[in-house]
Structure 1
């Protein structure tokens, strides 16, 4: 049974999972929203790596950096030069403060050395309409969601954010290929359990998940959607989560310290 517990940027659902019995029957489906919240929401009543334990990642999905056609740049390098020429004059949309799209935008700003104004919308649809309508100049969104708008010429794709080119937009270079070395920002999903869940249960769940996500039909289905499986042991996923927390903490500190 799936129980959706939305609200407070995933804090409510995460807290409920953390307080659940550690018996293997209540799990948390989570994403990089939770790792970013470790810095974004200091008043939360849980610590992710203290109150929950890593089971396994599920998959990761690439994002794409797009601009409105009126922006006079044809590629990512040109956009960075253009943005540097008018600091604070360009803006970018996201589906809200602290979302993976917002964090990807702040990471891009930091690594590119540019000053863009963040415009948070209530949801991805409104943010997408903002860049399509020209109210904002740039947006980072899911590849599959934005691909139809790219093909229709409503936005211009500058780069995708994964390590390899996306099968959904194969002609669009990665950020790395486009000239910004070391940048990577994806949306990933994973599972955690309440702290204290017995290790044999964690290992059994991990093994079952890794079998399921590597089924050929699942791999193909996800590939068509711009996603790829992430196969790890519980220990590897634990390390991945801790590194992700550090990564986003550094990004949050930079934009939080900005006057």
Structure 2
């Protein structure tokens, strides 16, 4: 028995030493960050920002590779099937936690086939209304929706998108019934809200800030737990009448399951340092984004909680993927 225990100890110690040595030499070649969303969007832009800063801090190139399609499924599956060696990473968002319930037939499972590295940041949305809507604040909007159930509608960029899920969570928590009008992208939805064909929309704060200032829509409330730095005079949904409501767009990094813990920890430390830098906080603040800093274990818990949150909303509203 003692011989067996000594043998196990030697194996474990050797494995630990090899993992530590690998982490010290990693990255020895360029690292790819796959973004399963379209180029030019927020996910792509923040991925390129993080890639540049990681290149500077870790002394090796981090290259962004956009692989959009299938509601994030195509690019994500590429990462799931990649070697777990720290050289292929996934830029992910809450689209992924929504898809765990919305798309049960996808070829991977987030918490089974990936390991969380670190969150990056989150951005608030804003609930806006066409100027003709007879409600200028959340209290008045709730009263209007309750007085006219099924007569007030809201646009989104499509089923299962963060904008759609924000609306369904709002319906669930406020007890009002709004009709969902899905579009194939945000631009068409935005145009019709400004034109008065649709009354309401949840949209990105930074996208809508100038539109609000121009009077083309009116801001009802923002969706974070604290007021947005971009729209500080607009109350949150939570403070204005739906306590504890929160629906944001957040981003993070994951890697294939089995990626060495030492590499995950090193990446987490590097990303956390980047997100904590004063110039980064200031730059992101102007864009309506707030840094998120967590350990890998805390990030895994965050992911699990988000999956559960949106699963309840999807099942309650009977939401189906396109």
Which band: TM-score by shorter chain?
over 0.9
- C-alpha displacement at 1:257, in angstroms? 7.3
Task: Give the equivalent residue in structure 2 for 1:227.
Answer: 289
Task: Give the equivalent residue in structure 2 for 1:119.
Answer: 181
Query: CA contact under 8 A between 2:159 and 2:319: conserved in structure 1?
Result: no
1:240 corresponds to which of 277, 302, 314: 302
2:150 corresponds to which of 88, 96, 109: 88
1:41 corresponds to which of 103, 112, 137: 103
Bigger-Rg structure (1/2) = 2
Q: Secondary structure at the match of 1:176?
A: helix
Closer/same/farther in 2, CA of residues 43 and 254 from structure 1, 3 Å limit: same
Q: Secondary structure at the match of 1:158?
A: strand
1:182 corresponds to which of 234, 244, 255: 244
1:76 corresponds to which of 138, 155, 165: 138
CA distance in 2, matches of 1:254, 1:205: 37
Comparing 239-248 with 166-175, greater Cα deviation is found at 166-175
Q: Secondary structure at the match of 2:284?
A: helix
Give unmatched runs, 5+ long, in structure 1. none
1:204 corresponds to which of 259, 266, 269: 266
- C-alpha displacement at 1:224, in angstroms? 0.3
Task: Give the equivalent residue in structure 2 for 1:159.
Answer: 221
- C-alpha displacement at 1:240, in angstroms? 0.1
Q: What is the aligned length?
A: 258
- C-alpha displacement at 1:8, in angstroms? 1.1
Per-residue deviation, residues 145-176 of structure 1 (Å, max 9, x unmatched) = 00111101111101101111111111100111
CA distance in 2, matches of 1:187, 1:3: 21
Per-residue deviation, residues 188-227 of structure 1 (Å, max 9, x unmatched) = 0000000000100100000000011111111000000111
Task: Give the equivalent residue in structure 2 for 1:128.
Answer: 190
User: Which contiguous aligned blocks of 4+ residues in structure 1 show a shift greater than 3 angstroms?
Assistant: none
Per-residue deviation, residues 132-157 of structure 1 (Å, max 9, x unmatched) = 01111000000000011110111110
Task: Give the equivalent residue in structure 1 for 2:67.
Answer: 5
Task: Give the equivalent residue in structure 2 for 1:143.
Answer: 205
TM-score, normalisation: structure 2: 0.79
Query: CA contact under 8 A between 2:80 and 2:113: conserved in structure 1?
Result: yes
CA distance in 2, matches of 1:41, 1:115: 25
1:18 aligns to 2:80 (yes or no):
yes
In proportion to residue count, which structure has more helix? 2
RMSD: 1.1
Q: Secondary structure at the match of 2:117?
A: strand
1:105 corresponds to which of 167, 183, 186: 167
With a CA cutoff of 8 Å and minimum separation of 6, indicate the structure with the bigger relative contact order.
Answer: 1
Give unmatched runs, 5+ long, in structure 2. 1-62
Q: Secondary structure at the match of 1:177?
A: helix
CA distance in 2, matches of 1:36, 1:213: 25
1:60 aligns to 2:127 (yes or no):
no
Per-residue deviation, residues 81-121 of structure 1 (Å, max 9, x unmatched) = 10111111111111111111110110001111111111111
